[in-house]
Amino acid sequence: MDGNGRWARRRFMPRFFGHKQGVDALVRTVQACADRGVEYLTVFAFSSENWKRPSEEVSGLMGLVLVAVSKYLAKLASQGVRIRIVGDRAQVSDKLREAWEQAESTTAHNTRITLCVAFNYGGRWDIVQACRRAMQDRVAPESLDEATLSRYMALSFAPDPDLFIRTGGEVRISNFLLWQVAYSELVFTDCLWPEFGEAQIDAAFAEYTRRDRRFGGVKPRSAEALQAP
Ligand code: IPE
Ligand code: MG
């Protein structure tokens, strides 16, 4: 969800205003995805590296999460959204941890769409914590395979993403889901996150349907090819 700061600056507003609008874009996106039958939506809300931002911005973002949970949790819960938080919870404040726990427990039985919020998350952090937990479980090196390690990843409960969308114009992954995007289709858009909504989702889905997913295999021979002499 990139581009909040630039969106605000273009309007001669403080960056925080962009983050606030970003929350509304997120709620809009969850609804639009649920309406389109998406079962899992994972968003990158705060990276392990975002602590490097000025402390006022970091505390503004933390406060915004608390406000967003109190403002939107009931609405999302009533719409059938199940919320899961992925990331390192050890470093966040008790208040924030409690808000996450409340969001997860209130929505635990919902089944329409699962919204995974990556917060204090990094793709490399995830791989390291998975290895660490596998070692704690004394998984033998010779029995550690991809399926086993997948079970220790923070998103083990969700399928790998079919589609990965980055807003804000940068063409990089920036330590988001490194393990899970091995075969995801990547879509990059210049749209700044606060402006993201139904039109951009439909455009990304249209782009996705044009992609030819082979997962390292070859394209199956078409009926015409079989008929050719
Ligand atoms: C939102 O966009 C990302 C968050 C960490 C919440 P940015 O804050 O990175 O916005 P830009 O890239 O400066 O425009
Ligand atoms: Mg950015």
Q: What are the DSSP calls for 102-166, one per residue?
A: HHHHHHTT--SEEEEEEEEE-HHHHHHHHHHHHHHTT--GGG--HHHHHTTSTTTTSPPPSEEEE
Strands 113-121 and 163-166: unpaired
* Per-residue tens of pLDDT for the chain, all 229 residues: 999 999 999 999 999 999 999 999 999 999 999 999 999 999 999 999 999 999 999 999 999 999 999 999 999 999 999 999 999 999 999 999 999 999 999 999 999 999 999 999 999 999 999 999 999 999 999 999 999 999 999 999 999 999 999 999 999 999 999 999 999 999 999 999 999 999 999 999 999 999 998 999 998 776 555 555 5
pLDDT of residue 128: 98
The Cβ of residue 38 has, within 10 Å, a number of other Cβ atoms equal to 19
pLDDT of residue 178: 98
Is residue 194 in contact with ligand 1, taking CB distance under 6 Å?
A: no
Is residue 6 in contact with ligand 1, taking CB distance under 6 Å?
A: yes
In 3-state terms, what secondary structure has residue 91?
coil
CATH of domain 4-207: 3.40.1180.10
CA-nearest residue, atom 9 of ligand 1 = 2
DSSP one-letter code for 92:
S
Is residue 184 in contact with ligand 1, taking CB distance under 6 Å?
A: no
Which residue numbers are catalytic? 2, 50
pLDDT of residue 196: 98
pTM for the whole structure: 0.94
Domain limits, the chain: 4-207
CA dihedral 93, 96, 100, 103 (to 10 degrees): 160
Is residue 82 in contact with ligand 1, taking CB distance under 6 Å?
A: no
Alpha-carbon distance values, 120 to 7, 26, 57, 97, 154 (Å): 23, 17, 15, 12, 12
CA-nearest residue, atom 13 of ligand 1 = 5
CA-nearest residue, atom 6 of ligand 1 = 45
